[in-house]
């Protein structure tokens, strides 16, 4: 599979009479896009806002973040299973509006959405203070059931992201990155002498709004299988997850999966990166064991020596992470795990809900219990009072002066377990 | 300004004598004694050792509460801004005394305190979480090397400056996890770590695995008929409105609620405070998480004697293990006092 | 993965005071096994019978056929997800009671079970006239819902099959076949010059009792993935399918998948057989397209030049078969399809519900509409009146003299689309 | 015994003349004429050509029904046991006449008949399904080669022996799929076929793909208000008890049932006869497959004028396409006669 990522670097957003791109400025036709999204009869209101890096703006409660992309060439369309059809993606050419993001905002579960500050101390913790954000805030029609509300917001986010890219598809790319992903028949004979490595990609699938989709299929229903990096870049994996904002993988993080990027960067030099194994994180022990056994079986089938394993979420999924580690190490496959920590606000507690001596190589993306005070912002997009009930917030989080004291848990992407950020933790 | 520091040492370093003088009771000496010389030199004019408290290691070990009380009194009398204890090197009773004194000073006098020991000194494991312990060699030969970090850290504490990492500053890790930004994103670090691991090169994990407690289960009840059974949940079921404001995650508290006379948890009166799962079904019928309805039936049928009038509830979502352990201890005491025979723990 | 199949050849069955094997005779402790199966409270009655090749015996209605196997060594147990745990199987040693079969018999859907004749013209059409059959007939408790009845019969069949093998696990094998299945890292470099070939293994998953299970997971819920031949031999794939008897794949047929055997037989000589891709046969067009795209993607990932594609069932699944063929051929992968035909009793009709010019290489396993008269048998096990409503039967199928005129459709395994039998069709 | 065979030929092979004599009406000649000589030699004493019927190709083509009627009468008068026609080689009208005569003989006189042609003779496509056609060359030079299989097949048909495969016997395939046991199991054949396909070696598919009919949809109704709508299903919904005994699969019939006055298909009165799906839900509420309930509502609301009183139903499970095509034709005629404007077809 060969995929070209045609990149346009977005440096500013503005409303315009039509959606267009010119020298870093993405103009957005506000009414056209509002109309497009409002066609979904499940919304009472659809509101568009802009939030740019450095502005005194807070977005709360954030559901998902999506990078605007569309297919320029090749089979299928981005977000297969949701937009377009269910074709295998990852070939041809895809337009990427780098630096832009669609942020969906809605109080679906109330305490399972997050905060993005565009400036101030909170901005240090979220990757999405550095993107030019189109924020879409949804209110549901009366009586809309939460799962329907989530589905509506999810679809609307994809539609908006695809709309932005598709609207400027005729603009010539500024840079083109090419990813050439060979079949295993070639990959297995390439780069002799370098260790074969795969990526074990754990997707949140505990259900009841903790859901991730692969080609539109709720992954709690699958057995582990193989995907190529270029499929992931085209949105084969998307988030439908409503859980603590710090370490749920936004669709943006999937589209720009940094583990894939890091392994590709070392491919052919230090390692031979041969595949991505997607697996799920289910709730019953039998499901955990089955998926773990099957995922490690695929790793053995690939004949890899090493695995990077990324988690999504915390607590219950720690058991999946550790089980995957133990099984892989028992099969002679060396592992590195990426996880965040819940060590208490003082850092004195154990960080994970499960542990194993085999887990000798762990990357920590930070203690999500650590607290931060977010000062008042000039502008708040969304529903600020949710801070009191948001996971990572507490009663009194929202202060009279508009400042908020919360755990990092409440900040979107703060401890992203794909290893998106530089945050970590150490023992002191 | 010049900070007023009190130095704590044992009878040996005070020049009073060895083991034969270990019974020495606490006493206050004006000014600098023994190793305080080196510390004072390092402080320069930023801090002054105004007094030295001396206590025999044997006396302290055998009369810990009384000795601590006396020592705190002595220190308080000096209007100290901070306390420095030891170094205790590898002397076990001395190390324990240094740790206990520093901890008491922090807790009771609310001023900075630190000590210094060899990492295998038993005082380290006892007090590393409570107090800063500078790493030293195993004997007094290491004094010269121990003094600069002791002085430097104490001054930072006095000046309210943030400490660097243990390895940078020279103290033993306290076992607290602290956030920081590293040079590379996590995914890059993971890929690099894997390359090193595969090559057999040294690498450092960012989170050394803890060893988990395993609690052996209590023996099964022989007879349910006479049993009083209580319900405890981490599923966050609370009276509607969450009167005790239990947090949606990282709970800092638990609730105790009376269900005498309640035979069914209705959506009118109960809901979940838990932020880690879709609340639709728990809010719709809280018995799904806290099965009062079924237990009332079983109680009526005489399968067991009584459902305890109180239930205990917290939110097990990102809640630190240390916090959960405390909740557990407290709830267990209350249940034992209430003569509860068995508990049904429900999760989510 | 290395799997040893330890074989004992069963030539006779008899009731005995304990379950034992001696010189081709498998003695069965009838009451012990009855007790084991009757523990499932969903059965009103459990009846055991013996049916041997050449006897004047008819079994009707047949739900499933299972070969007695158990693990002697290695992880897991046969029928993972049902017996034992969910571990990955396919390694170590497995005992096979070759020549024996457990036949489960129950009128679950009435017209979706089959007929096995142990002698006469019907015997020519079913593979299970040549096996020594332990027939287990179940009656459900009153009011048992059909899906529960199916699940109970399914489990009971696996329990019985595992019980028989496990009871004689200490008997030394007469022959040992060893299957060595290398990881892809080795397979891809082995046998240079031979074309790489995979097996696309379509599993019935239309739902409503048309179900197949992989490690206990209903495959309608999966996306296509890879399994190794040895996993299939250990019962990773089992039938929960109630549909026309001729071309539903019994668990026995999965355990002894003849496509896998044929490809293994040519492996290293004519082809390089590198993998099995399991996919499903779902009912909606989007599901069909998604699974077909993903299955062919896996074939492309494997870098194979050729695929054998086997179907299960007829009609609606013909669309999946043809779609898989077209997509693979479009990707430059040569295909051979295995299907049966429904060409009318006179053979004058079109045989498939879908067709494509790319399907240039088709193996026909026979026209299931062809009629056969089954003469009366001395003994009938089960519920003979079901012949009137069985799929492939018709009102009046059951004649007064006990003979039955039916289409081959009603005969268990008559047109098995794994290519188990020699039946075929030609144009005259 | 010696079978009595009548031979049918055209005016040219009867020596009457070429195209100018093509208007020749049917006539009966005693004994053998023209190519009959070779056939008679091949029959030996097993069969005798008792008479030859001659007809001009032009006359037959222009008066097909009348000519057929006359010819059947002439053959019947000979007390024939069988008829042999041609060979017609590549002569189109002659081939058509031979095929038509053989078909009529089989249907009307119920005795064996066969003819012989060049594969591209238009008569082949018209009659290969109805009658056996032996393959010949494109001209009379191929007579000698055509005669042995013609004789051999006719004798087998007369003796009631089963014919071998077309290629073995020398006749053109009739397009009927017939079961047989091959030497190897299907999986072995598949693997071998794949090896050949990959090597570019010749291989023979066991099922050449048919070309499917594509029926262009009728234009949409402009106005529903006045429309009469009928329901037709292949989902097997029938009055309970399946009064017409529609088969669970491979249906040989369809049912026509009156639903005037029925506004809901209840489980008391309706069920499915379909053997290809789990009937639980269709039996529980047959409206799920045949939505009478919803259509009655729409009828009441005036969305369309009338739900047709009769619905048509069969089982689309393994039912041959040829059978389904016949059902479709018949049902369409009935619906058109009943002035139905549109049909809702439901499947399973």
Report the 3 state secondary structure along A227-268.
ECHHHHHCCCEEEEECCCHHHCCCHHHHHCCHHHHHHHHHEC
Which positions in chain A touch B250 (Cβ < 8 Å)? 342, 344-345, 369, 392, 394, 407, 409
Q: Name the β-bridge partners of A43.
A: A140
Q: What is the pLDDT of residue D188?
A: 98
Q: Where are the alpha helices (DSSP H) in B4-52?
A: 36-43
pLDDT digits (tens, 9 = 90+) for B66-82: 999 999 999 999 999 99
- Active-site annotation of C, residues: 242
Nearest to D345, CA basis, from D304, D316, D323: D316
To the nearest whole angstrom, how far is the Cα of A402 from the nearest Cα of chain C? 47
Which positions in chain C touch D210 (Cβ < 8 Å)? 350-352, 355
Q: Are C361 and D193 in contact (CB under 8 A)?
A: yes
Q: What is the pLDDT of residue D125?
A: 86
Q: What is the pLDDT of residue C56?
A: 97
Nearest to B123, CA basis, from B148, B146, B91: B91
To the nearest whole angstrom, how far is the Cα of A120 from the nearest Cα of chain B? 16
**What average pLDDT does range B160-164 have in this prediction?**
90
**What average pLDDT does range C292-314 have in this prediction?**
97
Task: Establish if A417 belongs to a structural domain.
Answer: no
Low-confidence ranges of chain A (pLDDT < 70): 110-112, 386-396
Give residue D130's region: left, alpha or beta (phi > 0; psi -120 to 50): alpha
Nearest to A385, CA basis, from A110, A109, A56, A45: A110
Q: What is the pLDDT of residue C112?
A: 65
Overall pTM surpassing 0.90 (yes/no): no
Say if the Cβ atoms of B177 and A244 lie within 8 Å.
Answer: no
Instruction: Tell me the C-alpha distance between B66 and B68, whole Å.
Output: 5
Strand pairing class (A12-15; A25-28): parallel
**What average pLDDT does range D291-301 have in this prediction?**
96
Kindly report the CA angle at C287 between C330 and A70, in degrees rounded to 5? 70
CB atoms within 10 A of CB A284: 8
- Is A70 catalytic? The answer is no
Which positions in chain D touch C253 (Cβ < 8 Å)? none
**Prior bond of C61 cis (ω within 30°):** yes
Measured between CA atoms, the residue of chain C closest to residue A189 is C189
Instruction: Return the domain boundaries, chain B.
Output: 3-169, 228-346
Q: What is the pLDDT of residue B321?
A: 76
Top residue of C81, C89, C184 to mutate, by most chain A CBs within 10 Å, is C184
Q: Where are the alpha helices (DSSP H) in B160-278?
A: 166-169, 186-199
Q: What is the pLDDT of residue C396?
A: 67
Instruction: Tell me the C-alpha distance between C279 and D129, whole Å.
Output: 39
Contacts of C413 (CB under 8 A, 6+ apart): C65, C114, C125, C126, C127, C128, C245, C246, C250, C253, C420, C421
Instruction: Tell me the C-alpha distance between A155 and C143, whole Å.
Output: 43
Tokens 């004697």 correspond to: B305
Task: Establish if C416 belongs to a structural domain.
Answer: no
Top residue of B162, B184, B185 to mutate, by most chain A CBs within 10 Å, is B185
Q: What is the pLDDT of residue D321?
A: 76
3-state SS class at B7: strand
Q: Which residues of A58-77 are buried (b: 16+ CB within 10 A; e: fewer)?
A: bbbbbbbbbbbbbbbebbbb
Q: What is the pLDDT of residue C390?
A: 65
Q: What is the pLDDT of residue C113?
A: 79
Which positions in chain A touch B214 (Cβ < 8 Å)? none
pLDDT digits (tens, 9 = 90+) for C180-218: 999 999 999 999 999 999 999 999 999 878 899 999 999
Say if the Cβ atoms of A88 and C214 lie within 8 Å.
Answer: no
CB atoms within 10 A of CB C17: 10
Say if the Cβ atoms of A146 and B278 lie within 8 Å.
Answer: yes
> How many residues belong to chain D?
348
Instruction: Tell me the C-alpha distance between D128 and D173, whole Å.
Output: 7
Task: Establish if A416 belongs to a structural domain.
Answer: no
Q: What is the CA radius of gyration of chain A?
A: 21
pLDDT digits (tens, 9 = 90+) for C328-387: 999 999 999 999 999 988 898 889 989 999 999 999 999 999 999 999 999 999 887 766
pLDDT digits (tens, 9 = 90+) for C70-113: 999 999 999 999 998 999 999 999 999 999 999 999 888 765 67
Q: Which of C265, C394, C426 sits opposite D247 (nearest CB)?
A: C394
ipTM, two decimals: 0.88
Instruction: Tell me the C-alpha distance between B53 and D164, whole Å.
Output: 117
Which positions in chain B touch A341 (Cβ < 8 Å)? 177, 207
Mean pLDDT across chain D, nearest whole number?
93
Q: What is the pLDDT of residue B67?
A: 95
**What average pLDDT does range D325-333 have in this prediction?**
92
Nearest to A156, CA basis, from A31, A28, A18, A40: A40
Burial label for D296, CB within 10 Å (0-12, 13-18, 19+), is middle
Say if the Cβ atoms of C364 and D206 lie within 8 Å.
Answer: yes
Instruction: Tell me the C-alpha distance between D85 and C205, whole Å.
Output: 53
Q: What is the pLDDT of residue A390?
A: 65
> What percentage of residues in chain C have a pLDDT greater than 90?
87
Which class would CATH give D3-169?
Answer: alpha beta
Mean pLDDT across chain B, nearest whole number?
93
Whether C contacts D, i.e. 3 or more CB pairs less than 8 A apart, is yes
**DSSP H helix total and E strand total for chain B:** 11, 14
Is some CB atom of chain A closer than 8 A to the CB atom of B218? no
Give contacts of C 255-274 with D, CB under 8 A.
257-259, 261-263, 265-266, 270-271
Q: Are D143 and D105 in contact (CB under 8 A)?
A: no
Question: Please, which chains are in contact with D (at least 3 CB pairs closer than 8 A)?
Answer: C
Is some CB atom of chain A closer than 8 A to the CB atom of B212? yes
Q: What is the pLDDT of residue B250?
A: 80
Task: Establish if A344 belongs to a structural domain.
Answer: yes
Q: What is the pLDDT of residue A112?
A: 65
Mean pLDDT across chain C, nearest whole number?
94
Give residue B166's region: left, alpha or beta (phi > 0; psi -120 to 50): alpha
Q: Tally the domains of chain C.
A: 1
Q: What is the pLDDT of residue B319?
A: 79
Q: Are C355 and D211 in contact (CB under 8 A)?
A: yes
pLDDT digits (tens, 9 = 90+) for D236-257: 999 999 999 998 888 889 999 9
> What percentage of residues in chain B have a pLDDT greater than 70?
100
Q: Is the pLDDT of residue C394 over 80?
A: no
Task: Establish if C418 belongs to a structural domain.
Answer: no
Chain A residues whose C-beta is within 8 A of a chain C C-beta are 1, 81, 85-88, 183-189, 196, 214-217, 221-226, 228, 274-275, 286, 289-290, 293-294, 296-298, 300-304
Kindly report the CA angle at C28 between C25 and C33, in degrees rounded to 5? 160
Give contacts of B 72-131 with A, CB under 8 A.
129
Task: Establish if A421 belongs to a structural domain.
Answer: no
pLDDT digits (tens, 9 = 90+) for C125-170: 999 999 999 999 999 999 999 899 999 999 999 999 999 999 999 9
Task: Establish if A424 belongs to a structural domain.
Answer: no
Instruction: Tell me the C-alpha distance between C156 and C148, whole Å.
Output: 12
Task: Establish if A428 belongs to a structural domain.
Answer: no
Contacts of D68 (CB under 8 A, 6+ apart): D100, D101, D104
- Give the C-alpha distances (Å, rounded to integers) separating A361 from A186, A339, B192, D31: 30, 11, 11, 101
- With bands split at pLDDT 50, 70 and 90, how would you rate the model's confidence at C398? confident
- With bands split at pLDDT 50, 70 and 90, how would you rate the model's confidence at C388? low
Q: Is the pLDDT of residue D213 over 80?
A: no
Q: What is the pLDDT of residue C387?
A: 64
Is some CB atom of chain B closer than 8 A to the CB atom of A370? yes
Say if the Cβ atoms of A184 and C183 lie within 8 Å.
Answer: no
Q: What is the pLDDT of residue C389?
A: 64
pLDDT digits (tens, 9 = 90+) for D32-75: 999 999 999 999 999 999 999 999 999 999 999 999 999 999 99
Q: Is the pLDDT of residue B1 over 80?
A: no
Instruction: Tell me the C-alpha distance between A393 and A389, whole Å.
Output: 6
Question: Please, which chains are in contact with C (at least 3 CB pairs closer than 8 A)?
Answer: A, D
Residue-number span of the structural domain to which C358 is assigned: 2-410
Which positions in chain D touch C391 (Cβ < 8 Å)? 248-249, 275-276, 317-318
- With bands split at pLDDT 50, 70 and 90, how would you rate the model's confidence at C402? confident
Lowest mean pLDDT among A100-114, B52-66, C220-234: A100-114
State the Cα torsion B176-B179-B185-B186 to the nearest 10°: 30
Tokens 């940094």 correspond to: A258
Instruction: Tell me the C-alpha distance between D127 and D104, whole Å.
Output: 11
- DSSP 8-class letter at D171: B
Q: What is the pLDDT of residue C383?
A: 81
Q: Which of D182, D203, D316 sits opposite C424 (nearest CB)?
A: D182
Q: Are C226 and A226 in contact (CB under 8 A)?
A: yes
Which positions in chain A touch C217 (Cβ < 8 Å)? 223, 290
């Amino acid at each position: 599979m060969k995929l070209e990522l045609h990149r346009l670097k977005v440096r500013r957003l503005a409303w315009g009479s039509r959606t267009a791109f010119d020298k870093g400025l993405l103009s957005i036709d506000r009414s056209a896009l509002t109309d497009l999204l409002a066609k979904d009869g499940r919304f009472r209101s659809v509101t568009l806002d802009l939030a740019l890096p450095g502005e005194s703006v807070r977005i709360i409660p954030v559901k998902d973040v999506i990078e605007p992309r569309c297919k320029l060439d090749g089979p299928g369309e981005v977000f297969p299973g949701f937009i377009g059809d269910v074709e295998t993606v990852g070939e041809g050419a895809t337009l990427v509006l780098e630096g832009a993001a669609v942020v969906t905002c809605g109080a679906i579960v109330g305490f399972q959405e997050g905060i993005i500050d565009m400036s101030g101390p909170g901005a240090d913790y979220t990757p999405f203070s550095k993107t030019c954000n189109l924020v879409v805030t949804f209110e549901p029609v009366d009586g809309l059931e939460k799962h329907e509300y989530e589905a509506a917001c999810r679809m609307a986010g994809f539609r908006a992201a695809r709309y932005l890219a598709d609207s400027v598809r005729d603009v010539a790319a500024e840079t083109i990155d090419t990813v050439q992903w060979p079949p295993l028949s070639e990959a297995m004979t390439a780069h002799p002498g370098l260790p074969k490595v795969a990526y074990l990609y754990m997707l949140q699938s505990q259900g009841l709004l903790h859901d991730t989709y692969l080609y539109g299929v709720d992954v709690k229903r699958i057995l582990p299988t193989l995907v190529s990096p270029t499929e992931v870049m085209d949105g084969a994996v998307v988030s439908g997850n409503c859980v603590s904002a710090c370490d749920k993988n936004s669709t943006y993080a999937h589209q720009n999966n940094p583990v894939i990027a890091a392994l590709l960067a070392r491919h052919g030099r230090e390692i031979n990166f041969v595949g991505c194994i997607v697996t799920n994180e289910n709730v019953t022990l039998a499901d955990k064991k089955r998926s773990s056994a099957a995922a490690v079986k695929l790793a053995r089938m690939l004949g890899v020596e090493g695995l990077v394993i990324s988690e999504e979420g915390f607590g219950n999924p720690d058991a999946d992470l550790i089980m995957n580690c133990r099984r892989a190490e028992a099969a002679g496959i060396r592992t590195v795990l990426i996880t965040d920590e819940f060590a208490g606000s003082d850092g004195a507690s154990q960080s994970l809900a499960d542990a194993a001596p085999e887990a000798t190589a762990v990357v920590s993306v930070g203690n999500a219990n650590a607290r931060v005070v977010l000062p008042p912002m000039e502008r708040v997009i969304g529903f600020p009072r949710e801070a009191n009930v948001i996971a990572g917030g507490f009663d009194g989080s929202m202060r009279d002066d508009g400042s908020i004291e919360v755990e990092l848990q409440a900040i979107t992407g703060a401890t992203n377990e794909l290893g998106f950020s530089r945050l970590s933790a150490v023992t002191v | 300004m010049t900070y007023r520091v009190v130095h704590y040492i044992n009878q040996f370093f005070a020049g009073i004598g060895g083991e034969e003088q270990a019974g020495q009771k606490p006493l206050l000496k004006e000014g600098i004694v023994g190793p305080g010389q080196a510390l004072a030199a390092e402080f320069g004019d930023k801090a002054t050792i105004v007094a030295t408290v001396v206590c025999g290691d044997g006396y302290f070990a055998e009369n810990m509460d009384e000795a601590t009380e006396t020592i705190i009194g002595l220190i308080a009398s000096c209007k100290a801004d901070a306390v420095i204890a030891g170094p205790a090197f590898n002397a076990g009773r001395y190390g324990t005394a240094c740790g206990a004194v520093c901890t008491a000073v922090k807790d009771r006098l609310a001023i900075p305190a630190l000590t210094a020991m060899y990492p295998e000194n038993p005082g380290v494991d006892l007090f590393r979480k409570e107090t800063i312990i500078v790493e030293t060699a195993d004997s007094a030969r290491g004094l010269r090397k121990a003094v600069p970090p002791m002085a430097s850290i104490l001054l930072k504490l006095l000046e309210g400056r943030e400490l660097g990492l243990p390895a940078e500053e020279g103290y033993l890790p306290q076992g607290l996890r602290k956030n920081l930004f590293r040079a590379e994103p996590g995914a890059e670090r993971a890929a690099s770590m894997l390359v090193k691991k595969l090559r057999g090169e040294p690498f450092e994990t960012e989170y050394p695995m803890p060893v988990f407690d395993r609690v052996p289960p209590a023996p099964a009840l022989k007879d349910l008929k006479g049993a009083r059974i209580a319900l405890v949940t981490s599923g966050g079921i609370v009276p509607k409105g969450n009167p005790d404001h239990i947090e949606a995650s990282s709970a800092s508290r638990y609730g105790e609620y009376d269900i005498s006379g309640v035979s069914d948890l209705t959506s009118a009166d109960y809901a979940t405070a838990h932020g880690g799962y879709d609340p639709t079904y728990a809010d719709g019928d809280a018995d799904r998480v806290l099965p009062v309805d079924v237990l009332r039936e079983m109680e009526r049928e005489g399968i067991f004697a009584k459902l305890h009038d109180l239930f205990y509830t917290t939110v097990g979502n990102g809640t630190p293990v240390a916090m959960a352990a405390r909740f557990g201890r407290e709830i267990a005491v209350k249940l034992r006092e209430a003569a509860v025979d068995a508990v049904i723990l429900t999760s989510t």
